[in-house]
Amino acid sequence: VPYQITATNTCWVFVSGSTDARHFLDIVYGVTCLKKQGVQDNDIFVFHDFDAAQATPKLNANGIAPRLFAPADLAVELAQLAGYEHLVLATSGHGQLEGLSTVPPISPHGLYAAVRGAPVSLGIIVLGQCQAGVFHFTDALTAPPLVVIGATNLSLSLSTTMVGFSVATGGWSANAFLAYFFQWLGAPVDVDGDGKHTLLDAYKFAGVRTGELLPFAKVRQGKDLPAKLQQVDALQVQHAADWMKLLTTPAQNLSPAEQQTQMTITAAIKDLTEAASIVYMSQEPWLLNANLIRDVSFW
Amino acid sequence: MRRLPPEVRSLVEKAVYSLYTLRGYPDRFALVTDKGEIYVLDADGVIATSPRFSSVKEAPIGDVAGWRTTVQTNSVDSYLPFFLKTI
């Protein structure tokens, strides 16, 4: 096998442009799956925008200690790696037209250049964020070659609560494709029956499982959508006089009573938005460099 | 957390929002939103009059907090975090 990923010969990198706890838990889950296979904390690099004070208790609760960095340091840190044959990079968090919604945003060209700047023989990139297709159709053949997997093309990427998926701090609205991808890494399945656990198996597993989940998530969220919309409408009528003030004033500048109302209103709007985005989304994964993906085996 | 608005509860259960203990304030909890806003709650899930923090960075964030739910659904794992605060 040209490329054999083991617990010790590969650097694992997570990148997330998000301050949402759920996106950090996507990474926490991924790390716990890797550790099941014997990957050490020191070989796991997390570049994230999540608040540091909140990251620590979530890592501690799960007994993991990956190396933490800011997304702006990605290229510099990857260039300094040593002793690895391969690099696997997974993205969570938000995506946008220009690439990853990190601070500052990371463009497709910037991400690929950072990975190719690492002294490795192969770069594997798994893009879980929305609009991952903006990373599609890059030159994947120039050395070091890249294998790129996108959870979705130019549309949204599903995050939802998933039966059987939890970390020590409970369930979360998981990026479905990433969750299944890392579930596969934690317990690989030979999908195509060729006797090997290849990256192609992982791609098919995550893609099919996500596709199966999507209609159920839509039905579940669709059922609740009218009630969530009614709740937002009712709150808007009830607090019409202060609506804009409550939506735009920082919490610390409000009285406790106003904070109570603001907390309820913003949560109702967020809850509605989350549900609506699932109901009206579509998702189709893609891969780049299919010839090479068959030659990447795990564990 | 009996009086925590259901919308907030839903978002905590999805980890869109996070709930933490506050070091030095045994009866208070920090609710942090996806936008980084912080709300200090009492044990009932109602905004507390004190302490007040101007940002998450100023707050003495402790452990992840949560609760045990008795509701089984098709979508949410039955165990949700909360260190020992049964509601």
The total of other beta-carbon atoms located within 10 Å of residue A240's CB is: 9
Dump pLDDT digits (tens) for A139-169.
Answer: 999 999 999 999 999 999 999 888 888 898 8
What confidence score (pLDDT) does residue A137 get? 96
What ipTM goes with this model? 0.86
Contact A32, A46 (CB under 8 A): no
Interface of A with B (CB under 8 A): 19-22, 25, 51, 53-54, 57-58, 60-61, 160-166, 168-173, 216-217, 220, 231, 250-252, 256-257, 259-260, 263-264, 266-268, 270-271, 274
Pick B14's closest partner by Cβ from A19, A61, A172.
A172
Cβ A20–B16 below 8 Å, yes or no? yes
DSSP string computed for A80-126 = T--S-SEEEEEEEE-EETTEE--SS-B-HHHHHHHHHTSS-SEEEEE
Quote the mean pLDDT of chain B.
80
Distance from CA of A266 to the nearest CA of B (A): 9
Q: For residues A114 and B68, which has the higher predicted lDDT (pLDDT)?
A: A114
Contact A148, A113 (CB under 8 A): no
Quote the mean pLDDT of chain A.
95
| B62 has a chain A CB within 8 A of its CB | yes
Cβ A173–B16 below 8 Å, yes or no? yes
Instruction: Provide, as residue numbers in chain A, all residues whose Cβ is less than 8 Å from the Cβ of B10.
Output: 267, 271
Q: For residues B13 and B39, which has the higher predicted lDDT (pLDDT)?
A: B39
Quick one: which H or E segment has residue A229? helix A199-238
Dump pLDDT digits (tens) for A10-33.
Answer: 999 999 999 889 999 999 999 999
What confidence score (pLDDT) does residue B52 get? 94
